[in-house]
Amino acid sequence: MPAPRRVGLWLVGAFGGVGSTTALGLAALAKGLTEPVGMVTALPRFGAVDFDAPPAFVVGGHDIRQTSFSRSAAELMARSNVFSESLLQACAPQLEIWSANVRPGVVYRPSSVIAALADRPDVRRAETPRQAIAAIEQDLKFFAAEHRLDQVAVINASSTEPLFELGGAHKTLNALNTALDRHEPVLPTSGLYAYAAINAGFAYVNLTPSLGATLPALEELSVARKVPHAGQDAKTGETLLKSVLAPMFAKRNLKVLSWVGHNILGNRDGLVLNDPQNKASKVSSKNALLGELLGYKPQSHVSIEYIESLDDWKVAWDHIHFEGFLNTKMTLQFTWQGCDSILAAPLVIDLARLILLAQRRGESGSVSALASFFKSPLGVKEHDLATQFAMLEAYLQR
């Protein structure tokens, strides 16, 4: 009888709200203390797919902050009124074990916002991008070896970076490799982690709007290393709604005149997004899909504001002004009140299971069948949730 599979979930930004909730959730699922509500891979229709079960997972990660899964989850509970104290206590021992797997982050010329958050004294500052990549790879390989893991999924769950402009050095792997040895920020931090994961042979998923593996050179690397990857920017709230509501207007030939979305949130993610440069990359990711879904670009406006009292809760108010027959203007408004970490964490587990499956299937490069999870899916321009989901169903029925 073969030993049961053991797989790793490596979280970049491990102790953030999403990372901590993911770890807590995996621990709770493994102990049978909670149901997999919010997990797409737990839907009955996917019951026959060979996904890794929660007990198979070992959690590790990188973080620049000095804390632990338990402390971070307890903080989230206190601030945002989620979880229960008893669940936290039941999972605390497992979380302590996993916290020991979290290594100090590696940074190369971090932004000031990130530098301000980094309170872990052993954060490592690299001299060149290449040096940073090497250090990250070493951590990943050590994790896999130490726990004798069959596979590892590396998931970027860290804060959003500023928009990063691509140039010649990102077009081919050769060009990128040359640039990595220079004392220049040729990749943002998320790109360094993506490179390291893929180069070391580990499947990679980018939950954030940061660059990650979204450049031709890394697509080339992932094909060369036979590593699948996916992204970008998990679709958890306002954009999820857009991806079903915009198709509804399109299918009824109702003309959207303007679509205004205001988002307020109070967690660390919100704080980072309050920096105009970081916000730009998020807003761009949230805004792009309307044109694709409608076939024309109505006036649109997306704002994201940091409102401290909301903690991990995100409230989105959208005002959709549309025209019907005989020039009549009508309105749809919605208010979404969701808890960001709670919405994202089950998708992290989903994506880990899915990208590990893709690797076992021998896939490489970006996996477009996972489009339904992302605001800016790689490798495909489809934004309609229904169509994206049909793609996922077809993929999993293969």
Site for its own copies, residues 314 to 333, rule: CB under 8 A: 315, 317, 319, 321, 323-333
Q: Which stretch binds its own copies (CB under 8 A): 7-15, 179-187, 191-199, 379-387?
A: 379-387
CB of 249 to its own copies, least distance (A): 10
The single residue among 175, 260, 288, 380 that binds its own copies, judged by CB under 8 A, is 260
Residue 333 or 397: the one with the smaller Cβ distance to its own copies is 333
Residue 23 or 149: the one with the smaller Cβ distance to its own copies is 23
The verdict on 166 binding its own copies (CB under 8 A) reads no
Sign of CA dihedral 177, 181, 183, 189: positive
The single residue among 226, 251, 297, 361 that binds its own copies, judged by CB under 8 A, is 251
The verdict on 274 binding its own copies (CB under 8 A) reads no
Residue 177 or 284: the one with the smaller Cβ distance to its own copies is 284
Cα gap 70→57, rounded to integer Å: 17
Q: Which stretch binds its own copies (CB under 8 A): 64-72, 166-174, 191-199, 252-260?
A: 252-260
The verdict on 351 binding its own copies (CB under 8 A) reads no
CB atoms within 10 A of CB 393: 14
Q: 315, 265 in Cβ contact below 8 A?
A: yes
CB of 295 to its own copies, least distance (A): 8
Residue 174 or 333: the one with the smaller Cβ distance to its own copies is 333
Using CB under 8 A as the binding criterion, the count of chain residues that bind its own copies stands at: 76
Question: What is the distance of C-alpha 86 from the center of its chain?
Answer: 28
Residue type at 57?
A: F
The single residue among 135, 194, 213, 342 that binds its own copies, judged by CB under 8 A, is 342
The single residue among 203, 245, 354, 358 that binds its own copies, judged by CB under 8 A, is 245
Q: 194, 156 in Cβ contact below 8 A?
A: yes
The single residue among 90, 126, 307, 380 that binds its own copies, judged by CB under 8 A, is 307
CB of 51 to its own copies, least distance (A): 13
The verdict on 338 binding its own copies (CB under 8 A) reads yes
The single residue among 123, 372, 376, 396 that binds its own copies, judged by CB under 8 A, is 372
Q: Which stretch binds its own copies (CB under 8 A): 4-12, 23-31, 175-183, 191-199?
A: 23-31
Residue 299 or 397: the one with the smaller Cβ distance to its own copies is 299
* β-bridge partners, 329: 323
Residue 220 or 323: the one with the smaller Cβ distance to its own copies is 323
Residue 275 or 323: the one with the smaller Cβ distance to its own copies is 323
Residue 137 or 269: the one with the smaller Cβ distance to its own copies is 269
Residue 263 or 281: the one with the smaller Cβ distance to its own copies is 263
The single residue among 116, 224, 244, 394 that binds its own copies, judged by CB under 8 A, is 244
The verdict on 288 binding its own copies (CB under 8 A) reads no
Interactions with its own copies, residue window 52-91 (CB under 8 A): 78, 81-85, 87
CB of 112 to its own copies, least distance (A): 22
Q: Give me 145's structure tokens.
A: 């070896």
